């Protein structure tokens, strides 16, 4: 394998085309060692990066040509690039979307094979705006007017005097009476507005028994379910992908966050899976689960993901906890990974077992 110096020379050579630029073209970037910064810069430079333009166009095509339900189920679009565009075995591929089966998921009665939901009582707190009818509102306004009339002028002066004295005691450097009067009026108005706003809202408490995580209690059934989903999508789960899914599950002590979905079914994992298959074909070898067979190819590749839903559709989509774990180093994900990447979710969860705070 070429040394670190070889990679640095390659990057410097690429930069020399434009001495005023800090960005590196992914088309001419050859990485034998991870250089996350260089890859991200290349991905974010559409003028120099043919692949990012193609990927953006494909994402737009998926969004424009499919209905809301399909996009909601698919959620994300992923692709990958392997090698230098000038190399004979270089490859770009996109079109990977999340796999989902509404009959096998994380819902009660339709659980994915090999898992069970871990539930715990929680309290959700929310604020709801109170919409008052016109008659009630009018009545309150009249009542407030009557209260104001009944207040004694002397009491008002005393309140004002007390406030000014307190303010002077706490702020000795300010003694201008006009400034204090102005402050008193402003503070009074602010308090009244605050009081009005508080009356428009009420706190809602909702007691639930939700599942923040799921436990894989039969990993063989789980992997079998993953393989079936890949087969239905006309794909084959590669031994290396399976190995990384198993390792991620073990590292998290078989407990994973429901928010991250079913480990192994997201678009970026499928992109990695296809990359492994492509590497086998290029090297004329049988599939294996030995990372040493793929390290060189992985270090010359990168994976990227974009959203298909919400107002952020088309934006870069960071890999979730599960995908970040499965696509851990040395795999480059140019669109980012979550901060929990590589951490043990089971340990995180244990710290919240006696609290009402969400571990996710």
Instruction: Identify the band that residue 95 occupies on the pLDDT scale cut at 50, 70 and 90.
Output: very high
Beta-bridged to residue 76, according to DSSP, are 307
Token pair listed for 43: 């991905």
- From 175, 199, 223, the end of a domain falls on 199
Q: Which residue has the higher pLDDT, 52 or 233?
A: 233
Check whether residue 183 and residue 274 sit in a common domain.
no
Check whether residue 238 and residue 97 sit in a common domain.
yes
- From 155, 172, 199, the end of a domain falls on 199
Helices marked H in the chain? 4-15, 36-43, 50-64, 68-74, 134-150, 153-170, 177-199, 219-232, 239-251, 267-283, 295-298, 321-326, 345-350
Token pair listed for 64: 């424009």
Check whether residue 194 and residue 319 sit in a common domain.
no
Check whether residue 233 and residue 329 sit in a common domain.
yes
Q: How far apart are CA 92 and CA 57, in angstroms?
A: 14
How many distinct helices (H) and strands (E) make up the chain? 13, 6
Check whether residue 239 and residue 336 sit in a common domain.
yes
User: Edge-to-edge, what's the strand order for the sheet holding 115-129?
Assistant: 115-129, 201-216, 255-257
Check whether residue 231 and residue 328 sit in a common domain.
yes
Residue 82 is inside which H or E element, if any?
strand 76-82
Check whether residue 251 and residue 302 sit in a common domain.
yes
Condensed to tens digits (0 to 9), the pLDDT of residues 129-146 reads 666 566 666 777 777 777
Residue 10 within a domain: no
% of the chain residues with pLDDT over 90: 42
pLDDT at site 345: 63
Residue 18 within a domain: no
Q: How far apart are CA 76 and CA 261, in angstroms?
A: 12
Cβ within 8 Å of residue 186, ≥6 positions away: none
pLDDT above 70 for 100: yes
Low-confidence winner among 89-103, 142-156, 328-342 (lowest mean pLDDT): 142-156
Which residue do the tokens 């407030």 mark?
144
Check whether residue 320 and residue 249 sit in a common domain.
yes
pLDDT at site 299: 92
Check whether residue 299 and residue 183 sit in a common domain.
no
pLDDT at site 51: 82
E-strand ranges in 98-249 read 115-129, 201-216
Check whether residue 225 and residue 249 sit in a common domain.
yes
- pTM for the model stands at 0.62
- In contact, 27 and 10? CB cutoff 8 Å: no
Residue 328 within a domain: yes
Q: How far apart are CA 130 and CA 134, in angstroms?
A: 12
Query: Residue 170, exposed/middle/buried by CB under 10 A (0-12, 13-18, 19+)?
Result: exposed
pLDDT at site 356: 42
Mean predicted confidence (pLDDT) in 272-292: 92
Residue 126 within a domain: no
Number of folded domains that form the chain: 2
pLDDT above 80 for 64: yes
- From 153, 169, 199, the end of a domain falls on 199
Condensed to tens digits (0 to 9), the pLDDT of residues 191-210 reads 555 555 555 556 566 666 67
Strands 91-97, 255-257: pairing kind: unpaired
Token pair listed for 222: 């789980």
Check whether residue 226 and residue 83 sit in a common domain.
yes
Q: How far apart are CA 232 and CA 213, in angstroms?
A: 26
Residue 179 within a domain: yes
Residue 334 within a domain: yes
Residue 291 within a domain: yes
pLDDT at site 42: 47
pLDDT at site 272: 97
Q: What is the residue range of 166's domain?
A: 131-199
Q: How far apart are CA 314 and CA 59, in angstroms?
A: 6
- In contact, 76 and 59? CB cutoff 8 Å: no
Q: Which of 57, 60, 63, 78 is closest to 270 using CA atoms?
A: 78
The DSSP call for residue 45 is -
Instruction: Identify the band that residue 169 occupies on the pLDDT scale cut at 50, 70 and 90.
Output: low
Q: How far apart are CA 46 and CA 41, in angstroms?
A: 10
Check whether residue 287 and residue 173 sit in a common domain.
no
Q: How far apart are CA 302 and CA 111, in angstroms?
A: 33
Query: Measured at the alpha carbon of residue 350, what is the angle toward residues 349 and 355, in degrees to the nearest 5?
Result: 85
Q: How far apart are CA 333 and CA 336, in angstroms?
A: 6
Residue 287 within a domain: yes
Residue 332 is inside which H or E element, if any?
none
């Amino acid at each position: 394998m070429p040394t670190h110096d070889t990679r640095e020379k390659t990057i410097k050579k690429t930069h020399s085309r434009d001495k005023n630029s800090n960005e590196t073209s992914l088309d001419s970037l050859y990485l034998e060692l991870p250089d996350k910064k260089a890859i991200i810069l290349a991905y974010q430079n559409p003028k120099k990066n043919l692949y990012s333009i193609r990927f953006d166009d494909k994402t737009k095509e998926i969004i424009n040509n499919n209905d809301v339900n399909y996009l909601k189920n698919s959620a994300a679009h992923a692709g990958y690039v392997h090698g230098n565009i000038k190399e004979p075995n270089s490859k770009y591929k996109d079109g990977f979307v999340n796999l989902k089966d509404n009959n096998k998921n994380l819902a009660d009665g339709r659980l994915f094979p090999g898992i069970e939901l871990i539930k715990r009582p929680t309290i959700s707190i929310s604020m709801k705006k109170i919409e008052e009818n016109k008659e009630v509102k009018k009545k309150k306004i009249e009542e407030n007017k009557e209260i104001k009339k009944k207040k004694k002028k002397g009491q008002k002066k005393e309140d004002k005097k007390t406030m000014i004295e307190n303010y002077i005691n706490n702020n000795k450097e300010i003694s201008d009476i006009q400034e204090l009067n102005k402050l008193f009026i402003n503070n009074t108005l602010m308090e009244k507005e605050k009081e009005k706003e508080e009356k428009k809202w009420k706190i809602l408490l909702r007691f639930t028994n939700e599942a923040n995580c799921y436990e894989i209690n039969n990993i063989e059934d789980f992997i079998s379910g993953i393989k079936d989903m890949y087969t239905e999508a006309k794909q084959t789960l590669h031994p290396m992908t399976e190995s990384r899914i198993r390792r991620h599950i073990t590292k998290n002590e078989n407990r994973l966050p429901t928010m991250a979905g079913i480990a192994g079914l997201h678009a970026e994992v499928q992109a990695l899976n296809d990359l492994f298959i492509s590497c086998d074909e290029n090297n004329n070898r049988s599939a294996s689960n030995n990372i040493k067979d793929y390290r060189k190819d992985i270090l010359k590749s990168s994976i990227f993901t974009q959203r298909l839903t919400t107002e952020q559709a088309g934006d870069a989509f960071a890999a979730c906890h599960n995908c970040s774990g499965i696509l851990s180093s040395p795999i480059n994900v140019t669109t980012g990974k979550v901060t929990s990447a590589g951490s043990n979710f089971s340990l995180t969860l244990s710290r919240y077992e006696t609290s009402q705070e969400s571990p996710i």
